């Protein structure tokens, strides 16, 4: 009985030490409000050049909105759609177009489309600082997900130097 008690005591001590090792302050990169706004503006400008009126949403790494801009003439559904595309890109850590290809190739992955707020349409792109995802952009309103993708990627590329 003493031996069992001693083993339990040692196990509890080891578990406590393990938890203490994880009890620390974390430092994470995160998209700033200013950068989110600037990326959203760049996407609107790119889509305007291409002849499209869109809505752009930029979310942080937790999927929370940092900036949403609806261009003149963009449809009412584009606000929610752009936010969901950005959310999907940050949640799955890949573009929404890549996620769509994954789902098409793997029936098990098809259930991803049923996750709340997920939208599997082109136009959602992660924003990376080095190799860390700090947020994502979602563009909605161009005539096709590939065109939404192009505006989103152009906007992110414009700020590549600030994302190191």
In our burial notation (b when 16+ CB lie closer than 10 A, e otherwise), range 68-102 reads bbbbeebeeebbbbbbbbbbbbbbbebbbbbbbee
Per-residue pLDDT tens over the stretch 125-148? 999 999 999 999 999 999 999 999
Structure tokens at 121: 């349409």
pTM: 0.85
In whole angstroms, how far apart are CA 120 and each of 18, 21, 44? 39, 39, 21
Per-residue pLDDT tens over the stretch 43-64? 999 999 999 999 999 999 999 9
Specify the pLDDT at position 133.
96
The DSSP output letter for 51 is: T
Per-residue pLDDT tens over the stretch 90-128? 999 999 999 999 989 988 888 888 899 999 999 999 999
Specify the pLDDT at position 34.
97
Per-residue pLDDT tens over the stretch 8-43? 555 566 666 556 666 789 888 999 999 999 999 999
Specify the pLDDT at position 107.
82
pLDDT of residue 159 exceeding 60: yes
Structure tokens at 157: 């590329």
């Amino acid at each position: 009985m003493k031996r069992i008690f001693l083993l339990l005591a040692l196990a509890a001590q080891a578990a406590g030490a393990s938890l203490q090792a994880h009890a620390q302050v974390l430092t994470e990169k995160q998209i700033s409000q200013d950068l989110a706004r600037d990326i959203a503006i760049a996407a609107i400008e790119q889509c305007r050049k291409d002849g499209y009126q869109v809505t752009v949403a930029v979310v942080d790494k937790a999927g929370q909105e940092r900036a949403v801009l609806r261009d003149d003439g963009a449809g009412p559904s584009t606000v929610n759609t752009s936010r969901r595309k950005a959310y999907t890109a940050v949640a799955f850590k890949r573009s929404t177009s890549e996620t769509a290809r994954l789902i098409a190739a793997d029936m098990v992955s098809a259930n991803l489309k049923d996750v709340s707020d997920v939208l599997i349409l082109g136009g959602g792109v992660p924003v990376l600082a080095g190799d860390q995802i700090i947020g994502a952009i979602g563009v909605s309103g161009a005539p096709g997900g590939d065109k939404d993708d192009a505006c989103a990627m152009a906007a992110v590329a414009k700020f590549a130097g600030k994302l190191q």
